[in-house]
Structure 1
Amino acid sequence: MARTLPIQKTTFLKKEEVQRDWYVVDANGQTLGRLATRIALVLMGKNKPNWTPHIDCGNFVVVVNADKIKLTGKKMDQKKYYRHTGYPGGIKEFTARQLLQRNPEKLIQLAVKRMLPKTILGRRALKRLKIYAGPEHPHQAQKPVELSF
């Protein structure tokens, strides 16, 4: 006689049931790519057991010490970032070292942005990322929890 298992229904999270948590990450001495992948997972909410693919159930992430991030190998001088002014011949090229000196927040933001989905859910998740070059941040009132990797 064959035994039948009880049927369990899959529960989907509803938009009203989403609980957003605040996390703070110290980027001091962290590798850029490895840090960005972990931040992207937390922003999307994939670290939660009730993650739902079609619902925005991600968390807030505050990154401090963005100016102390590291890149492995020769990426500081060989990795290129581009932007275009919109005019003919207006392409601008920066190395990772130049971008880190000029705007260290942008370096982490671009790495995380490119790891998020290219949909409305990814754009909403990127708005929950707060990056600061120094050790101070203005989000103490939200009581962020230290997230270590």
Structure 2
Amino acid sequence: MTIAAGLKIGEVAKQTGVGVGALRYYESLGLLQSERGDNGYRYYSLAAVQQVQFIKRAQALGFSLEEIGEILTVHQQGHTPCDLVQSLLQSKIEKIDAQIQEMLAFKAVLEDYRDRWQVGVPYSPNSHICPLIETVPL
């Protein structure tokens, strides 16, 4: 990259809608590269805008910055990372499915308490705050 053709960090931020602090953070993680000019400013290649947009799109799909780094590394090695992307997505889908099952089970427990508590719980002089919650085993 020639620095004359480079974009300052503020220009990249403006074109991508990503804050300067986030761009610096991406760079610290190795997701984005810049060169320093003699004036100390960071200069980014014109491709940096596309790379930041890629990062934001990948985040919108739930990819972590670490996973995005893995994807970018495969790409930088000259390979198409689509197989990796599909594998990561499948893992995310499986994790979400498990979380949905856990949430449905928890919802059923809460509904059970709600239904049992609708009949009321007699006042207990030993109750410190709420006799309903105090019936829940630890």
Greater length-normalized contact order (CA 8 Å, ≥ 6 residues apart): 1
User: In proportion to residue count, which structure has more strand?
Assistant: 1
Which is greater in Rg? 2
Per the shorter chain, which TM-score range? under 0.3
